[in-house]
Amino acid sequence: MIFSLLVYGAPHSHQAAESAYRFAVSALNQGHGIHRIFFYGDGVHNGSALASPPQDECDLPARWQALAEQHELDLVVCIAAAVRRGVLDANEALRYEKPAHNLRAGFELSGLGQLAEAAIQSDRLITFGA
Amino acid sequence: MTLHTLNRPPSDRALLTDCLAALLADDTLLLLEDGVYCALESLSLPTGVRCVALAADVEARGIGSRLPAGIEVVDDAGFVELCCRNDRVLSWF
Amino acid sequence: MSKSKSFLIISRRPPYGSSHARDALDTALTTAVFEQPVAILFQGDGVYQLLSGQEPGGVRQKNLSATLSALPMYDIDRLYVCARAMAQRGLDQNDLVLPVEVLDDAGIAGLIRNHDVVMNF
């Protein structure tokens, strides 16, 4: 079965992102495929390279990155939601003339069309809402 | 068949009401995150609807021994399996 | 795109207080661009999105109801509202910015079963 996940919550603010991560791990362990994980709304903060939780707490952005590297996952952060909230890649930082960019390696910024495409191409779309 | 997931506590009465009203026979309701507290209420489920709660969230909140008899507990793998068995997954939040 | 799926967007939040209503609308519009059939159900406080007379300039936001009233132009013409939500709020069709179909609980449950992808916002 091919899944795509829609993650709507920021790490730490809401449990949704952590639930999505556990689901992804469990699905992969069962041999299912994950077509895409799409981060929307406050979920864009999952793609921050600058999140610095205390060492005894879960560093979800880092775990997403590691999972993506291990399984070649497509982690897409909604570009419109991200730039509004200050999650930028190098291109967007240049475009908006910002002094820095903070999109974590393993994530990419792209449009909402990637969510629609994921829903069309996958057997199931699972939303982790906040 | 639809898998409905609900992640808000029962104090979000409007959400719970709309979710319960949308259930049809053979659907499954999966409670997760703060939604597991809904299991502590006597939910009026339509006949033929299965209600399950996610194990990690039940354990985290210390409510395992308080769950009524009709509520099954499933682990993360069980959640994935439910997604496969149903035709669509609708998240209420 | 080879595959086609029917989409139902359930929009449950009121306008302006959070980004949910705008995100639901943007998702519906984007999905329609992919030439997929899209229906929208307004439920709970989401029915307030359709209320006429919105003037969000003072809160520095774009008028959501103006975009909603243009939905049929984007081939999104299956618009539904929850009968219970309307009744609880004392609203009827005359209060809304465009015509919508009113569904009772059984109608909503059937609507969900008739769509491949159902997304809640």
Each residue's pLDDT tens digit, B41-70: 999 999 999 999 999 999 999 999 999 999
Tell which of B4, B23, B90 to mutate to test the C interface (max C CBs under 10 Å). Answer: B90
Structure tokens at C9: 């967007």
- What domains sit in chain A, N to C, each tagged with a CATH number? 2-128 (3.40.1260.10)
Tell which of A21, A23, A35 to mutate to test the B interface (max B CBs under 10 Å). Answer: A23
Q: How far apart are CA A58 and CA B92, in angstroms?
A: 25
Percent of chain C with pLDDT over 90: 97
The answer, yes or no, to whether residue A111 has pLDDT greater than 90, is yes
Those residues of chain B whose CB sits closer than 8 Å to some CB in chain A are: 5, 7, 32-34, 54, 56, 76-77, 79-81, 83-84, 88-89, 91-93
Radius of gyration of chain C (CA): 14
Q: How confident is the model at residue C99 (pLDDT cuts 50, 70, 90)?
A: very high
Contacts of A94-103 with C-beta under 8 Å, sequence gap 24+, read A102/A48, A102/A49, A102/A50, A103/A47, A103/A48, A103/A49, A103/A77
Residues of A in contact with C23 (CB under 8 A): 40-41, 81
How much is the pLDDT for C114?
A: 97
How much is the pLDDT for C2?
A: 61
- The answer for residues whose C-beta is within 8 angstroms of residue A96's C-beta and 6 or more apart is A83, A88
Span A14-37, mean pLDDT?
98
- What domains sit in chain B, N to C, each tagged with a CATH number? 2-92 (3.40.1260.10)
Q: Please, which residues bridge with residue C94 across strands?
A: none
- C62 near A CB under 8 A: no
- B80 near C CB under 8 A: no
pTM given for the model: 0.97
Q: ipTM value of the model?
A: 0.97
Give the orientation angle of helix C105-113 with respect to helix B13-21, to 10 degrees.
70
Question: What would the pLDDT profile of A38-69 be if each residue is shown by its tens digit?
Answer: 999 999 999 999 999 999 999 999 999 999 99
Please identify which of the residues A5, A34, A78, A88 carries the catalytic annotation.
Answer: A78
Q: Is B53 exposed, middle or buried (0-12, 13-18, 19+ CB in 10 A)?
A: buried
Residues of A in contact with B77 (CB under 8 A): 26, 29-30
Question: What would the pLDDT profile of C24-49 be if each residue is shown by its tens digit?
Answer: 999 999 999 999 999 999 999 999 99
The answer, yes or no, to whether residue C105 has pLDDT greater than 70, is yes
Span C78-107, mean pLDDT?
97
CATH 3.30.499.10: does it fit domain C7-120? no
Span A69-95, mean pLDDT?
98
Q: Please, which residues bridge with residue B54 across strands?
A: B74
- DSSP code of residue C57: G
Q: With the CA atoms of A46, C11, A2 and B48 taken in that order, what torsion angle do they form, in degrees rounded to the nearest 10?
A: 120
C115 to A19, B81, C28, C119: CA distances (angstroms): 25, 21, 14, 10
How much is the pLDDT for C97?
A: 96
Secondary structure (DSSP) of chain A? -EEEEEE-S-TTT-SHHHHHHHHHHHHHHTT-EEEEEEE-GGGGGGGBS-----TTS--HHHHHHHHHHHHT--EEEEHHHHHHTT---HHHHHHTT-S---BPTTEEEE-THHHHHHHHHSSEEEEE--
How much is the pLDDT for C1?
A: 55
How much is the pLDDT for C3?
A: 80
- DSSP code of residue C75: T
Task: Choose among A26, A9, A100, A111: nearest CA to A60.
Answer: A9
How much is the pLDDT for B29?
A: 98
Residue-range domain boundaries for chain C: 7-120
